[in-house]
């Protein structure tokens, strides 16, 4: 008890200083609310953002394990499958009991998995925060399911694959990543290769290994936003997650070798809008380097609805219904995608040439400074307007937590955005828009890709 | 264009995530200014919510933005028979074609640094324009809003582009993007066949080509008028601003539009099934529906909400259908029930506002289940089957509804479900825009504040009320069912349904060996459960929505 009290006092002191320090330079931050952080002794990071939403709080747990961590052959799609298993109960709370508690809380709760992470989230009554912590701490530490439950859940995952794969876009995406990446785990989608999805019922033992590896405090961050105080959140985190044991596993994720020539991925599909995507190898996320922000600003300028190219291809010539693009924010180097939905597959080569020409021009022709400023303004106002709920804020923070481990990356990267110049845009274009690292994706009625 | 854009988004977006179920959306915390409520809705005439001086206000002085919504009482049901899709084209032309003073390209340039945005959403009975801007730019943005409403450009070039996208949507995208969304739209086609509610809002392959720019101009003049509009405004605005907005909206066309009554759904004779076959479908996507004459305007809706939630709340893992079909039997990704239109259910966990409807039906959504071809490939022990899981899943779902009608909910189930709903409904209105949207929908249904009023009704509800309402409004003898499936599955499934053939659940040995005896025993009952199938048709995918 005495230990706990001392810990509590220390914790309060720490929280207050952190909060004050952060409020000190809050004015320069894109997020107008201080981000309170506390790391427990076991490595679990706890993030709190008080926000004026009486009675309402968003409670997120970000686990930095996604399909990126699926390094073993035959185990693709497992992070996602495992996310499903997290709803299968513990000794204390069976899946039915968990369901009843969720129902009684009336919260909007769910989870999702992506390449770099798995996120569990719950938005509901802030007064129920204690219960939220209790049930989440229980399943994150004491998950227990039968072999039968495991095999049964595999059918639901296959059903999810079935539902998604009706879309030709999903079919192309699968082909595209496996073509663009040969060694790195980004070669498979988060759903996994179909043969691995089909084999999932046989992987019970592996699922225990997976839980043991990744559902550990050093992989996790708790985020609470809304009608809460950091003290309350930190105390609850200590109370319910304080005994969670660290693990030791670190995946060995292969580096993708440099791509040396253009690759192609094609889906033959009749009776569907032809689609073209040009995918270049891009940088990994960093909240200090200029590359990603420069690529984001540049692609906004090149492909937004008021861009020259959009006006030419979509508005005037009406050969494309849509063009767009941008870099993917991810932990390891990933793709910068530029895409177009076309009216007629016959125009695909022409549209591709136009897109390539715009990318080529960006290497040598400086973009007007005013345009750059307008784009920075757009990015900032768009963010400001979207931060209107605990859930929206928690979502934004979760993204930077999985990317860098630190929610302050959100504020940091917007400062980098502010510093971008016309020269930075040209540098990024030169560095990344090269045909050697490009993978061309197409959907068309033809047997082979209609573009060179 | 928002809806169509959603279907042609780039592959990059698909990379985003695999959600167990999709994301929740955003919260906020302000009060509606108009909160005079009545527990019982007056006789329901949606038209009364619209017209000169009708405004819904939601002042939020702490907000950094302003949202303006204009909802017109028209929707796709006012489309002329030979020009289905016209309301949609007209709404798109307002957002995609600029003003007489400022072409759309110039508008996009101007609002670009502000990240201001606007879009139109067309549903069966209303069209809603939404404008959102940061307060820093409200004064500069407003002349654009005004121009779009009072002097829309309706330029020829923009018309060509809008129509081409629309044609592409009804010809191709709708059939090929999502089988579950496809089966849902096909169900409405069947439920409302021959009526003003039948066609998808974007129109049909045959009618979109008939729409001319002149039609659009006339339609705007005749169906988007000061007499059928409801103004909504939320956020940080002044009274002066609202006065200006009201005065400008009053300058819309003064035509008194003739809005037809929303068609009633057709009455199915027995269970009538349409199987839509396409090549290379991996599963069978199922939607069922049957007329139900209750909407949010009726107090009984609260009772039905509880029953509905118990049976299968949208994208929740607590419902009976989800539990039995997905959790216990591993058959698909999810199964839910509905007592009103749920817009873009594949994408949203919480409901979208601004799609209010007076014509209603009760529906079940069974997400794609495995077909025989896929099961045979995966499991040697299923080598002899010729129908996949669709027949069994349908029987199971219908039996669950029957059980609820027959047995009702227990007091305990009722209490838990009601508790859930009273808290969960508050999450519908987490953002300014959603809150404003739901308040406007409330007026459509003759209510002041649906969320508050339902809460009060739920508080006073008893389990007897719920069980009585279920008996009164739900039945399964007469239903429409649409199934989108692979061409290899269509004929065997048709024969099985028509002949009421027993449909033992085709488990893999892996799953079957661990199932408790009571599940297997229940399976035997389900496999022989009689569904009142009277008619099954197979339609080729290319012949739908013509």
CA atoms lying within 13 Å on the CB side of residue B101: 9
* CA atoms of A243 and A240, how far apart (whole Å): 7
Six-digit token pair at B509? 């040995």
Strands of B65-73's sheet in order across? B55-59, B229-235, B65-73, B126-134, B117-122
- pLDDT reported for residue B346: 87
Element (H, E) at B131: strand B126-134
Helix axis angle for B390-407 and B463-473, nearest 10°, is: 130
State whether B10 and A103 contact (CB < 8 Å).
no
Per DSSP, the three-state class of A37 is strand
Mapping DSSP onto H, E and C, the string for B297-309 reads CCCHHHHHHHHHH
Distances (CA, A) of A304 to A91, A299, A442, B410, B431: 52, 8, 21, 55, 26
Topology of domain A36-241, CATH: Cytochrome Bc1 Complex; Chain A, domain 1 (3.30.830)
Closest CA to B51 of B304, B278, B257: B257
The average confidence (pLDDT) of chain A is 92
Residue A159: the pLDDT is: 85
CATH 3.30.830.10 fits B46-250, yes or no: yes
User: Quick one: tokens of A354?
Assistant: 């136009």
The closest of A326, A324, A323 to A296, measured between CA atoms, is A326
Angle, vertex CA A167, rays to CA A162 and CA A171, nearest 5: 85
The full DSSP string for A79-91 is HHHHHHHTTSBBS
Minimal Cα–Cα distance from A196 to chain B, Å?
Answer: 12
Option in A80, A159, A390 nearest B27 (CB):
A390
Range 52-111 of A in CB contact (< 8 A) with B: 52-56, 58, 80, 83-84, 87, 95, 99-100, 102-111
Beta-carbon count within 10 A of B256 CB: 12
Among B357, B322, B295, B336, CA closest to B184: B336
Q: Quick one: chain B helix, strand, coil %, rounded to 5?
A: 45, 15, 40
Point out the residue among A173, A201, A385 whose CB comes nearest to the CB of B15: A173
Backbone angles phi, psi at A276, to 5 degrees: -130, 135
Given a contact cutoff of 8 angstroms between Cβ atoms, the answer to whether A157 and A417 are in contact is no
All residues of chain B having their beta carbon less than 8 Å from the beta carbon of residue A111 are: 19-20
Which residues 353-382 of B are in CB contact (within 8 Å) with A?
367-370, 374, 378
The model carries a pTM of: 0.90
Give me the pLDDT at residue B43, please.
59
Q: Is A305 on the interface with B (CB under 8 A)?
A: yes
Q: Please give the Cα distance from B495 to B480 (Å, whole number).
A: 17
CA distance B152 to B103: 9
pLDDT digits (tens, 9 = 90+) for A168-195: 999 999 999 999 999 999 999 999 999 9
Name the helix (H) or strand (E) containing A393.
Answer: helix A390-404
pLDDT of residue B280: 84
Q: Do B12 and A190 count as a contact with CB atoms less than 8 A apart?
A: no
Alpha-carbon dihedral sign for residues B236, B241, B246, B252: negative
pLDDT tens digits for range A86-99: 999 999 999 889 98
d(C-alpha A311, C-alpha B64), whole Å? 31
What three-state secondary structure class fits A126?
Answer: helix
ipTM: 0.86
Q: What are phi and psi of B204, to 5 degrees?
A: -130, 165
Contact between B336 and B310 under an 8 Å Cβ cutoff? The reply is no
Helices B411-424/A95-105 angle, 10° precision: 50
d(CA B242, nearest CA chain A) in Å: 21
Domain B271-543: which CATH class? alpha beta
> Which residue ranges of chain B lie beneath pLDDT 70?
1-43
pLDDT digits (tens, 9 = 90+) for A400-440: 999 999 999 999 999 999 999 999 999 999 999 999 999 99
Nearest to B416 among A103, A315, A316 (CB): A103
The stretches of B298-410 forming alpha helices (DSSP H) are: 300-312, 320-321, 372-378, 390-407
What are the residue boundaries of the structural domains of chain B, listed by start? Answer: 46-250, 271-543
Task: Judge whether residue A17 has pLDDT over 70.
Answer: no
Which helix (H) or strand (E) segment holds residue B220: the answer is: helix B213-223
For residue B213, give the nearest of B279, B158, B295, B283 by alpha carbon. B158
Q: Do A146 and B514 count as a contact with CB atoms less than 8 A apart?
A: yes
CATH architecture, domain defined by A263-444 = 2-Layer Sandwich (3.30)
What does the pLDDT average to over A212-238?
Answer: 98
Query: In this predicted model, which residue has the larger pLDDT, A55 or B390?
Result: B390
Per the structure block, which two tokens stand in for B433?
């825009």
In terms of Cα–Cα distance, which of A400, A254, A410 is closest to A332? A254
Question: In sequence order, what DSSP letters do the residues of B444-478 get, joined into one string?
Answer: HTT-S-HHHHHHHHHHT--HHHHHHHHHHH--SSS
Query: Cα B368 from chain centroid?
Result: 18
Q: CA angle, A170 as apex, B314 and B318 as ends, to 5°? A: 20
Closest CA to A298 of A245, A385, A360: A360
CB contact under 8 A, B24 and A123: yes
Task: Report A:232-291 residues touching B (Cβ under 8 A).
Answer: 269, 271-273, 275, 277
Q: Do residues B133 and B66 make contact, with C-beta atoms less than 8 angstroms apart?
A: yes
Percent of chain A topping pLDDT 70: 94
Could you please report the per-residue DSSP string of A279-303?
EEE-PPP-SS-SHHHHHHHHHHHHH
- Looking at the complex, report in whole angstroms how far the Cα of residue A89 sits from the nearest Cα belonging to chain B: 12
> Based on C-alpha coordinates, what's the Rg of chain B?
24
Q: Where are the domains of chain A?
A: 36-241, 263-444
- The minimum CA-CA distance between B511 and chain A, rounded to whole Å, is 6
Query: Is residue A10 scored above 90 in pLDDT?
Result: no
> Are the C-beta atoms of residues B237 and B66 closer than 8 Å to each other?
yes
- Distance, CA of B194 to CA of B224 (rounded, Å): 25
For residue B91 the two structure tokens come to: 């709404």
Chain position carrying tokens 């249904």: B445
Residue B40 DSSP one-character state: S
Give, to the nearest 10 degrees, the angle between helix B487-498 and helix B390-407: 40
* Separation CA A240–CA A46 (nearest Å): 12
Whether the predicted pLDDT of A6 surpasses 50: no
What are the residues facing B119 on neighbouring strands? Answer: B130
Which position has the token pair 């997650």?
A: A241
Looking at the complex, does the CB of residue B546 fall below 8 Å from at least one CB of chain A?
Answer: no
Instruction: State the Cα–Cα distance between residues A320 and A305, nearest whole angstrom.
Output: 12
Print burial letters for B405-434: b (CB count within 10 Å at least 16), e (below 16): beebbeeebbebbbebbebbbbbbbbbbbb
Is A314 near chain B, with CB under 8 Å?
yes
In this chain, the answer to whether the domains covering A36-241 and A263-444 adopt an identical fold is: yes
Please answer whether residues B260 and B47 qualify as being in contact, where contact means their C-beta atoms are separated by less than 8 angstroms: no
Q: Which of B347, B85, B44 is nearest to B198 (CA)?
A: B85
Size of interface A-B (CB pairs under 8 A): 294
How far is the C-alpha of B419 from the C-alpha of B412, rounded, in Å? Answer: 11
Task: Give the residue among B354, B453, B444, B450 at the shortest CA–CA distance from B67.
Answer: B354
Predicted confidence at residue B22, as pLDDT, reads 28
Assess A154–B contact: CB distance below 8 Å, yes or no.
yes
């Amino acid at each position: 008890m005495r230990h706990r009290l001392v810990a509590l006092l220390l914790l309060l002191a720490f929280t207050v200083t952190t909060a004050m320090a952060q409020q000190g330079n809050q004015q320069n931050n894109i997020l107008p609310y201080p981000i309170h952080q506390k790391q427990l002794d076991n490595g679990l990071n706890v993030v709190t953002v008080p926000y004026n939403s009486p009675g309402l709080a968003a409670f997120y747990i970000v686990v930095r394990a996604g399909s990126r961590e699926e390094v073993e052959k035959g185990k693709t799609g497992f992070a996602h499958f495992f996310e499903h298993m997290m709803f299968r109960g513990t000794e204390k709370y069976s899946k039915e009991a968990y369901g009843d508690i969720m129902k009684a809380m009336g919260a909007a709760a769910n989870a999702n998995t992506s390449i770099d992470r798995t996120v569990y989230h719950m938005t509901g009554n802030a007064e129920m925060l204690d219960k939220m912590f209790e049930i989440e701490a229980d399943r994150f530490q004491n998950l227990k399911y039968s072999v039968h439950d495991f095999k049964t859940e595999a059918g639901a995952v296959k059903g999810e694959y079935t539902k998604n794969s009706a879309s030709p876009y999903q079919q192309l995406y699968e082909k595209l990543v496996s073509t663009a990446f040969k060694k790195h785990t980004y070669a498979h989608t988060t759903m996994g290769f179909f043969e691995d999805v089909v084999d999932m019922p046989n992987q019970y033992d592996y699922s225990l290994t997976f839980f043991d590896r990744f559902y550990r405090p050093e992989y996790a961050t708790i985020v609470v936003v809304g009608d809460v105080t950091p003290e309350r959140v930190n105390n609850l985190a200590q109370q319910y997650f304080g005994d969670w044991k660290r693990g030791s596993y670190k995946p060995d994720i292969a580096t993708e070798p440099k791509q040396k020539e253009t690759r192609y991925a094609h889906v033959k599909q009749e009776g569907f809008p032809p689609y073209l995507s040009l995918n270049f190898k891009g940088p990994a996320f960093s909240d200090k380097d200029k590359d990603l922000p420069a690529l984001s600003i540049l692609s906004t300028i090149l492909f937004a609805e008021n861009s020259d190219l959009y006006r030419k291809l979509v508005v005037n010539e009406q050969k494309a219904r849509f063009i767009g693009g941008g870099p993917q924010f991810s932990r390891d180097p990933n793709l910068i995608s530029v895409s177009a939905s076309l009216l007629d597959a016959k125009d695909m080569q022409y549209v591709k040439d136009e897109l390539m020409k715009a990318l080529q021009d960006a290497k040598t022709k400086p973009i007007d400074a005013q345009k750059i400023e307008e784009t920075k303004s757009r990015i900032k106002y768009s963010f400001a307007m979207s931060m209107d709920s605990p859930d929206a804020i928690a979502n934004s923070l979760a993204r930077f937590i999985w990317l860098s481990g630190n929610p302050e990356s959100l504020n940091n990267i917007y400062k980098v955005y502010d510093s971008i110049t016309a020269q930075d845009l040209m540098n990024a274009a030169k560095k990344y828009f090269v045909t050697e690292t490009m993978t061309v994706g197409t959907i068309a009625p033809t047997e082979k890709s209609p573009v060179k | 264009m928002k809806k169509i854009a959603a279907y042609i988004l780039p592959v990059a977006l698909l990379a985003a995530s695999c959600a167990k179920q999709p994301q929740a959306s955003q919260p906020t915390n302000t009060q509606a200014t108009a909160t005079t409520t009545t527990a019982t809705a007056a006789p329901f005439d949606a038209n009364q919510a619209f017209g000169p001086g009708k405004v819904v206000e939601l002042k939020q002085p702490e907000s950094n933005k302003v949202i303006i919504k204009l909802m017109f009482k028209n929707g796709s049901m006012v489309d002329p028979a030979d020009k289905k899709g016209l309301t949609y084209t007209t709404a798109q032309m307002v957002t995609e074609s600029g003003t007489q003073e400022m072409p759309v390209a110039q508008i996009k340039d101007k609002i670009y640094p502000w990240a201001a945005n606007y879009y139109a959403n067309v549903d069966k009975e209303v069209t809603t324009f939404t404008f959102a801007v940061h307060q820093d730019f409200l004064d500069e943005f407003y002349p654009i809003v005004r121009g779009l409403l009072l002097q829309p450009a309706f330029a020829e070039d923009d018309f060509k582009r809008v129509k081409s996208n629309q044609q592409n949507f009804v010809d191709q995208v709708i059939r090929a993007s999502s089988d579950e969304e496809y089966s849902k739209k096909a169900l409405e086609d069947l439920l409302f066949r021959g009526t003003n509610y039948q066609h998808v809002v974007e129109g049909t392959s045959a009618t979109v080509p008939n729409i001319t720019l002149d039609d659009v101009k006339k339609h705007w003049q005749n169906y988007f008028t000061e007499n059928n509009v409801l103004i909504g405004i939320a956020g940080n605005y002044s009274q002066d601003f609202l006065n200006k907005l009201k005065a400008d909206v009053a300058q819309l066309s003064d035509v008194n539009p003739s809005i037809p009554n929303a068609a009633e759904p057709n009455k199915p004779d027995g269970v009538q099934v349409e199987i839509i076959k396409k090549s290379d479908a991996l599963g069978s996507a199922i939607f069922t529906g049957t007329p139900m004459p209750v909407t949010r305007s009726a107090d009984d809706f609260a009772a039905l909400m509880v029953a509905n939630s118990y049976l299968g709340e949208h994208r929740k893992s607590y419902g009976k259908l989800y539990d039995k079909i997905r959790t216990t039997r591993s058959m698909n990704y999810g199964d839910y029930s509905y007592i009103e239109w749920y817009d873009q259910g594949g994408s949203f966990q919480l409901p979208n506002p601004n799609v209010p409807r007076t014509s209603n039906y009760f529906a079940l959504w069974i997400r794609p289940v495995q077909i025989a071809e896929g099961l045979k490939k995966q499991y040697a022990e299923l080598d002899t089957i010729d129908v996949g899981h669709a027949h069994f899943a349908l029987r199971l779902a219908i039996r669950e509804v029957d059980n609820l009608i027959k047995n009702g909910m227990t007091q305990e189930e009722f209490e838990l479900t009601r508790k859930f709903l009273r808290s969960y409904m508050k999450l519908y209105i987490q953002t300014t825009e959603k809150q404003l949207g739901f308040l406007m929908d409330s007026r459509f249904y003759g209510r002041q504040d649906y969320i508050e009023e339902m809460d009060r009704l739920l508080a006073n509800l008893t389990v007897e009320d719920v069980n009585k309402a279920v008996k009164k409004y739900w039945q399964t003898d007469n239903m429409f069912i649409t199934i989108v499936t692979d061409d290899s599955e269509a004929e065997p499934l048709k024969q099985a349904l028509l002949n009421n053939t027993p449909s033992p659940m085709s488990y893999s040995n892996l799953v079957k060996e661990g199932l408790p005896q009571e599940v297997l025993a229940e399976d035997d009952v389900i496999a022989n459960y009689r569904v009142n199938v009277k008619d099954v048709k197979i339609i080729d995918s290319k012949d739908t929505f013509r």
